[in-house]
Amino acid sequence: MKLEVHDLHKSFQGKEVLHGISFTIESGKALGLLGRNGAGKSTTIRILMDVFKANQGTLLMDGKPFHAKEYNIGYLPEERGLYPKKKVSEQLLYLAELRGMKKAEAKSNLKKWLKRLHIEEYESRVLETLSKGNQQKVQLAQTLMNDPDIVILDEPFSGLDPVNSQILQEVVQEQIQAGKLVIFSSHQMNYVEEFCEDIV
């Protein structure tokens, strides 16, 4: 897959926040969106995911108009979106099925990702009882459970200690090696440099 973004502009209440953003990313590579808070990284991601439209610009996948709904996208948002008072397994299975995954496959993938991220012991725990770092790993499991074509990670290292940061780095590298299209957004240069051949 080859995703091309051409001349994206976006304004909110008359203030332009994206001023002609252009980049290209291909499967098996990671693209880093690097910038300070408020630079427009999350706005760019939301346009890619069709949360809202650009005022100007085009999105192409393999030369044809890109429509997010036609692809399986795994998204790890900067603002965490899981339910603190629900059990880890309940909400991961619910979200996987909501995306169209069959129950048996969702259960299998749940086990796989909890084990891969070293959090299988928390499967039946209520989310809010976990540390911030382990909650972040549950969020990452949610992102990857549906075997997405496109993986979008917005500030994924927030709240992770060095050991868990290493696990996340390994998982991201596995996604790249599996031929996924990976977009990595951060204001921390050291993390972006770790994975990304191209940086915007």
Tens digit of pLDDT for each residue in 17-26? 999 999 999 9
Q: What is the pLDDT of residue 181?
A: 92
pLDDT for the residue 10: 94
The per-residue pLDDT for 54 is 92
- Reported as type and span, the H/E element at residue 115 is helix 103-116
Per-residue pLDDT reduced to its tens digit, 42-97: 899 999 999 999 999 999 999 999 999 999 999 988 777 788 889 999 999 999 99
**Residue 156, burial from CB neighbour count under 10 angstroms (0-12, 13-18, 19+):** buried
pLDDT digits (tens, 9 = 90+) for 141-174: 999 999 899 999 988 877 677 888 888 888 888 9
Distance CA 42, CA 62 (A): 23
73 burial type by CB count under 10 A (0-12 exposed, 13-18 middle, 19+ buried): buried
> Which one is predicted more confidently, 153 or 197?
153
Q: What is the pLDDT of residue 150?
A: 93
Q: Could you tell me the strand order of the sheet in which 73-76 lies?
A: 73-76, 150-154, 181-186, 30-34, 198-199
Q: What is the pLDDT of residues 86-139, one digit of tens each?
A: 999 999 999 999 888 899 999 999 999 999 999 999 999 999 898 888 888 899
Predicted TM-score of the model (pTM): 0.87
